[in-house]
Amino acid sequence: MNIVLFNKDLRISDHQPLTEAARAGEVLPLYVFEPSLWKEAPLSARHFEFVVESLDELAKGIEDQGGKLFFAINEMKMVLDKLLDIYDSINLFLHNDIRLMDIVAEWARQNEQRVFSYGPELENVPGKLFNNRLNSYLKELLAEVPNKIDVPSKIPDFLFTDFKKLQNFKVKGNKIRFGQQGGEMKAAETLDSFLEGRFSNYIENHQKPLPSSLSSSRLSAYITWGNISVRTVFQKTDEKLQACELEEDKIQLEEFLSKLTARMKICSTENKDQQLPNDSNIKREWNEDWFQRWLQGRTGIPIIDAAMRSLDKTGWMNFSLRAMVTSFIANTLSLDERNPSSALAELYLDYEPAVHDFYVQQQVGMKRKMKIIDPVKVGRQLDPDGAFIRRYIPELSKLPDEYIHEPWLYPAFYQLGYEAPMVDVKKMNKHARLQYQALKSKGKDILKKEEGESEQLSFDF
Ligand SMILES: Cc1cc2nc3c(=O)[nH]c(=O)nc-3n(C[C@H](O)[C@H](O)[C@H](O)COP(=O)(O)OP(=O)(O)OC[C@H]3O[C@@H](n4cnc5c(N)ncnc54)[C@H](O)[C@@H]3O)c2cc1C
């Protein structure tokens, strides 16, 4: 039996495993809800909802071609064992996602079954060769949607197609009302609207909290969950780029493509267990009250609070805000970054372990110089008129511009109903800097620049 294992590739377009499996004969398209993954990884109800929305559209797409999408709730190895009991031999078709491949390849080896994996072979490929391989992968012809998907004549009892059965699958965290909706159609619409015009101020608005939510692509969740393939994004963008008459437009799209390839580079670099190492050189303590105030957007520092409240509501933040809230909790407050990192991952709809861990490590000084950020100073640069702050902190909506980043200086501050700042940021940052310098002079190698890390991956205010 030809089994297509869907994972973070929830689409029918440019899905090579599905195309190849359909060519081989009867196909069982399958999505497995692995309880341990949803329990232990920083995945939450908002991710689950996005996945279910994506699967709903995928199921319809497969049905249109005559097939059926099946679901199972169990650990992957158990599901494969059960499938092998029913079908004497199985061929597994999947994209080469590191986590899933580890499980599937080992199981297939032990059980002498065949695995066909697809996707770019970029893992730990050095410099120039990486760029060549990546380029040829991105320019390859897209996989055709199969004309016909033959449903297997024998279907195991433990598989199901009814979405109602997922209601009992409990996942931590809350759903969101204002987040992006999952699915291939939304992904395609988002790319189209970006290329039709939203991209024109991509660079200028990239760091600004409110403008970036419109003029950056907003494709990250769709790319993370595979509602659209990276090469579809690349090829459509490249087509647009070739057609651009204005040099300025070309520059915007080239910058966008460089982010896309940065992502592929990060995802293909080995990051052992995809967890943050616990041997950070800076001694970090734990303070639950500080953590909760940060998480709930009640630190009393407007730009941090607006960022955390917006993330809670929408599931998205731009790069600069992600960097700032991470630096605040781990560097300014010197809290152990592992819990905050997981808490953020549960909130980012586009959570991608390799990318997220890479940047958290970069912020806290595990990759290069620790990034200590003054949220008042940088907040003023990013959100000069406080429009972002006013949108997410109603307590400050009527505050005059001059006080919006330092409301505690406002004469009637205590009537606003907004928190007083939980710490003196300047003092805390000074302390963090001294601690960091002391470590540096002890000869610790936290400044060591990672080999192969390209400049475009660095970010400085
Ligand atoms: C601490 C921290 C954690 C992050 N965690 C994630 C994460 O879990 N998932 C994630 O997709 N991005 C993450 N990023 C990178 C970046 O912030 C987001 O990709 C971006 O904000 C997504 O918005 P967009 O789709 O509009 O991006 P665009 O600017 O339109 O970029 C297009 C695509 O390129 C990729 N991309 C954009 N910026 C970067 C970058 N600097 N590095 C690598 N890839 C990039 C994304 O897939 C994005 O969809 C993180 C950044 C920081 C500082």
Confidence of residue 270 (pLDDT cuts 50, 70, 90): low
**86 alpha carbon to ligand 1 midpoint, in Å?**
42
Confidence of residue 394 (pLDDT cuts 50, 70, 90): very high
Q: Let me know: does 168 contact 157? Beta carbons within 8 Å.
A: no
Mutate to test the pocket of ligand 1, among 207, 220, 230, 455 (most ligand atoms within 8 A of CB): 220
Residue whose pair of structure tokens reads 């731009």 in the numeric block? 318
Mean pLDDT, residues 390-404: 97
Backbone angles phi, psi at 40, to 5 degrees: -90, -35
Q: Let me know: does 30 contact 4? Beta carbons within 8 Å.
A: yes
Does residue 311 line the site of ligand 1, with CB under 6 A?
Answer: no
Does residue 271 line the site of ligand 1, with CB under 6 A?
Answer: no
pLDDT (tens digit per residue) in 18-29: 999 999 999 999
Residue 320 marked in a binding site: no
Query: How much is the pLDDT for 122?
Result: 87
The chain-wide mean pLDDT, for the chain, equals: 92
Q: Which amino acid is at 227?
A: N
The torsion region of residue 47 among left (phi > 0), alpha (psi -120 to 50) and beta comes to: alpha
Q: Which of 96, 2, 11 is nearest to 53 (CA)?
A: 11
Mutate to test the pocket of ligand 1, among 237, 258, 259 (most ligand atoms within 8 A of CB): 259
pLDDT (tens digit per residue) in 422-442: 999 999 999 999 988 887 777
**432 alpha carbon to ligand 1 midpoint, in Å?**
27
Residue 54 marked in a binding site: no
**1.10.760.10, 3.10.20.30, 1.10.579.10, 1.20.1250.20: CATH of 288-457:** 1.10.579.10
**DSSP helix/strand/coil, 18:** helix
Nearest CA to ligand 1 atom 30: 217
| Partners of 27 in beta bridges | 2
pLDDT over 80 (residue 220)? yes
Domain ranges (residues) in the chain: 2-119, 184-268, 288-457
Does residue 219 line the site of ligand 1, with CB under 6 A?
Answer: yes
Does residue 266 line the site of ligand 1, with CB under 6 A?
Answer: yes
Q: Which of 111, 96, 106, 87 is nearest to 3 (CA)?
A: 87
Confidence of residue 445 (pLDDT cuts 50, 70, 90): low
**Domain 184-268 CATH class label:** mainly alpha
Mean pLDDT, residues 217-246: 98
Query: How much is the pLDDT for 284?
Result: 72
- CATH superfamily, domain 2-119, is HUPs (3.40.50.620)
Does residue 323 line the site of ligand 1, with CB under 6 A?
Answer: yes
Q: Which atom, in ligand 1's list, is nearest to the CA of 350? A: 9
CA 382/CA 209 separation, integer angstroms: 7
pLDDT (tens digit per residue) in 297-338: 999 999 999 999 999 999 999 999 999 999 999 999 999 999
CA 17/CA 4 separation, integer angstroms: 6
Does residue 322 line the site of ligand 1, with CB under 6 A?
Answer: yes
Q: Which of 58, 107, 42, 46 is nearest to 79 (CA)?
A: 107
Hey, what's the torsion of the CAs at 112, 269, 207, 311, to 10 degrees?
A: 40
